[in-house]
Amino acid sequence: MRDAGKRFLNAKRVRHEISVLSRFQLWRIKYGRKHYLRHEHREGGTEDLPIYLFWCRKCERISLDYPHGHIQDRYLTCQNCGTNTDFVPWRATWDEFWKIVKEAWRLTVEGPNR
């Protein structure tokens, strides 16, 4: 399928997903919130991927994608302009925080040489 045809189908799919959202949800997306839709299975994939709607600041449109990259440096790619939008889930920073706390506790209890 040609690139223009893919873009048309993606735009049609985004319009369909937007049609079932409330105004409040659309407002949250426009001001930076990534909205989880569902998990989908992609061709060639081994597991289901979470699908999100998000606002692209470059082309100023709502786009739909799944997170790419590792948990500490994830991003979503706009289907319209190809711009990457940061997407680090809140749990990534929480996990890192607990790793630091555990290491500090270990150093306090056991000492630095153990």
- Residue 53 belongs to some domain of the structure: yes
- Residue 7 belongs to some domain of the structure: yes
Which of 73 and 64 is assigned the larger pLDDT? 64
Average pLDDT over residues 66-92: 78
| Long-range pairs for 51-58: beta carbons < 8 A, 24 or more residues apart | 52/76, 52/87, 53/14, 53/17, 53/18, 53/21, 53/29, 54/29, 54/85, 54/87, 55/29, 55/30, 55/31, 56/80, 56/81, 56/83, 56/85, 57/83, 57/85, 58/83
Q: How many domains does the chain have?
A: 1
Cα gap 99→87, rounded to integer Å: 21
Average pLDDT over residues 13-28: 83
- Residue 105 belongs to some domain of the structure: no
pTM over 0.85: no
- Residue 107 belongs to some domain of the structure: no
- Residue 29 belongs to some domain of the structure: yes
The residue segments making up the domain with residue 29 are 3-89
